[in-house]
């Protein structure tokens, strides 16, 4: 399968997968719910403001790629939509969670991925997360890749390949977190890493 999703297709697909994993009781999604998910202001980079027509056009293209399907539920007059990533790629839950975050937020470090996949799948530790990334990167058709570490950053980031090679502007690390929420998230990740390191240290004695 040729993987060259445009930004709309990638966002729509990521939202469908996110809601499948995080809130299965509200999945599949109506067009209105999916549009709201695409335009969500948290856990999205970049934040967008699309209308139903834009989202539906993305859904049609995904259906042509066999990555999404339209469903009609008994007793419901509203058409709903779901992704077909598992049918096409046979993902584990962890693999799907990692790809979902990369689709919705762009390149991420392993630490960011572990933090941001928690609502969808809980990785026991960074090693478990890295094992999942390695499996995705070493498929016959690789689906993620590790980017070169940017000067001034501690960790290399990973990107999905469902839209082909990452664009040059997405490879550079952001100069600073966007807004208070992201600053808090970064601090929480650093605190969590320090706690884990302290627990490992205590276990040695």
> Which residue, among 123, 168, 130, 122, has the nearest Cα to 146 in the 3D structure?
130
CATH among 1.10.150.130, 1.10.10.10, 3.90.79.10, 3.40.640.10 for 92-177? 1.10.10.10
pTM beyond 0.75, yes or no? yes
Per-residue pLDDT of the chain (205 residues; tens, 9 = 90+): 778 999 999 999 999 999 999 999 999 999 999 999 999 999 999 999 999 999 999 999 999 999 999 998 776 788 999 999 999 999 999 999 999 999 999 999 999 999 999 999 999 999 999 999 999 999 999 999 999 988 777 889 999 999 999 976 555 545 444 445 555 555 665 566 566 666 666 666 6
Separation CA 157–CA 146 (nearest Å): 6
Architecture of the domain defined by 7-88? Orthogonal Bundle (1.10)
> Which residue, among 8, 162, 180, has the nearest Cα to 100 in the 3D structure?
162
CA angle (24 as vertex; 18, 29 as ends), nearest 5: 70
Q: Is 106 left (phi over 0), alpha (psi -120 to 50) or beta?
A: left
- Domain residue spans in the chain? 7-88, 92-177, 178-205
């Amino acid at each position: 399968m040729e993987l060259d999703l445009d930004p709309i297709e990638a966002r729509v697909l990521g939202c469908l997968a996110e809601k499948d994993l995080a809130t299965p009781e509200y999945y599949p999604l109506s067009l209105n719910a999916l549009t709201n998910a695409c335009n969500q202001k948290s856990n999205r980079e970049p934040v967008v403001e699309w209308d139903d027509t834009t989202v539906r056009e993305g859904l049609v293209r995904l259906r042509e790629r066999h990555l999404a399907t339209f469903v009609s539920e008994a007793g419901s007059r509203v058409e709903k939509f779901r992704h077909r990533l598992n049918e096409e790629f046979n993902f584990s839950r962890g693999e799907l969670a990692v790809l979902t975050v990369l689709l919705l937020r762009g390149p991420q470090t392993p630490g960011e991925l572990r933090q941001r996949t928690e609502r969808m799948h809980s990785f026991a530790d960074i090693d478990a997360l890295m094992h999942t990334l390695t499996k995705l990167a070493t498929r016959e058709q690789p689906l993620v890749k590790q980017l070169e570490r940017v000067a001034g950053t501690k960790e290399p980031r990973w990107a999905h390949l469902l839209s082909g090679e990452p664009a040059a502007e997405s490879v550079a690390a952001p100069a600073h977190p966007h807004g208070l929420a992201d600053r808090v998230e970064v601090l929480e990740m650093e605190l969590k890493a320090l706690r884990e390191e302290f627990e490992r240290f205590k276990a040695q004695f």
